[in-house]
Amino acid sequence: MVVVVENSNDYLKEDDIVLGIGIALGVTYGILFDNLALGISFGVLFGIIAEGIRRKSPNKKSNDKTNDGPDDDQS
């Protein structure tokens, strides 16, 4: 028998990752173009836009288990 338990804290971790990637890209932009303040602002803006796009996209989870037959890992 397989029991799948979802943790509601995963959503917060995904938010941090998307915003963190945006800030990292912004800092990289700021270092390359020698304007760190503009880069951080750009990064936060990019993170917020990416988060909005991620929230509007349908929630696709590929770990949905169906009972197609006997389990291979019977113990």
Confidence of residue 10 (pLDDT cuts 50, 70, 90): low
Confidence of residue 70 (pLDDT cuts 50, 70, 90): low
27 is written with which tokens?
Answer: 């800092």
Cα–Cα distance for residue pair 62/38, rounded to 1 Å: 38
Decide: pTM greater than 0.95. no
- The string of pLDDT tens digits covering residues 15-56 is 567 777 777 888 888 888 888 888 888 888 888 887 788 778
Given a contact cutoff of 8 angstroms between Cβ atoms, the answer to whether 51 and 15 are in contact is yes
